[in-house]
Structure 1
Amino acid sequence: MPDTALPTETRVLGVSESAARRVAFLIEQEGNPNLMLRLTVSGGGCSGFQYGFTFDETATDEDHVFEKDGTKVVTDDASLDLLAGATLDYVEDLMGAAFQIKNPNATASCGCGNSFAV
């Protein structure tokens, strides 16, 4: 049976400088320098899948850790399949400020940007 897994070089998650700065600020506010931002994908939301953001101190053997400017973002293996090639960004504009996922795997997304379809 052929291997259908994505090549390792495409199973990456980018982190923008803006996102890294914001995560670092939030971690500083939490007062625990060991924290990482955990980004997950789960079933649900108005488009089929939804993003989740939490802080975590530990990464398991099944996790993938991506680092930008000393800030760590961790995601599990199953979520990375849906996030491969995506970029975590933090955007501030007149409408507000929020983390955004620029996900090339998403074929549709909801208006709030928190859920997507593949």
Structure 2
Amino acid sequence: MTLPPKVTDRAFARLAEIAELTGEVRPLRVAVDGGGCSGFQYSIWLDDPAPDDLVLEKDGQRVLIDQISLPFLRNAIIDFTEELIGARFVVQNPNATSSCGCGTSFSI
């Protein structure tokens, strides 16, 4: 069964922290672009919604996914992690057959 991506509570909480720090509530866009060392790469940034975006929302925070990226992100989990190398939003993608060490590039 194909499901849309899931966003963790931790990712939504980080978006709320960013909004509090900046004084501006902006959605997080998660997109898939061609390129990277494994063929595709994730692009994650604060953006404004487009009319055809899938919008995942909780507690006033939103994550946007465009229709072109959506098939690449089916059943994926969008999370926020804090590690020694830094804090960042990450995508756990069951569709990826391999990924690079940095976790931003993958192949299907």
How is 1:14-93 mapped onto 2 (pairs within 5 angstroms)? Answer: 14-33=6-25, 35-60=26-51, 62-93=52-83
| In structure 1, distance between residues paired with 2:3 and 2:68 | 11
Task: Name the amino acid aligned to 1:18.
Answer: R
Over the aligned positions, Cα root-mean-square deviation in angstroms equals 1.5
Q: 2:75 corresponds to which letter in structure 1?
A: G
TM-score by length of 1: 0.83
Q: Is the 8 A contact 2:27 2:61 kept in 1?
A: yes
Q: Is the 8 A contact 2:5 2:75 kept in 1?
A: yes
Identical aligned residues as a percent? 47
Q: Which has the larger radius of gyration?
A: 1
Q: Deviations over 1:49-80 (max 9, x none)?
A: 011112123331x2100113331100101101
1:80-103 per-position Cα deviation (integer Å, ceiling 9, x unaligned): 110011011111133432211010
SS of residue in 2 equivalent to 1:101: strand
Supply the distance in 2 between the matched residues of 1:81 and 1:15 (Cα, whole angstroms): 16
Distance, in Å, in 2 between the alignment partners of 1:42 and 1:27 is 26
SS in 1 for 2:68: helix
TM-score if structure 2 supplies the norm length? 0.90
- Distance in 1, matches of 2:95 and 2:45, equals 22
Aligned to 1:4: none
Q: Which runs of 4+ in 1 moved over 2 A?
A: 27-31, 93-96
How far does the alpha carbon of each residue in 1:31-50 deviate from its partner, in whole angstroms, 9 at most, with x for none? Answer: 222x1101110000000001
Contact 1:17 1:69 in 2 (8 A): no
- Cα distance in 2, alignment partners of residues 81 and 37 from structure 1: 18
For structure 2, which runs of at least 5 residues remain unmatched after alignment?
none
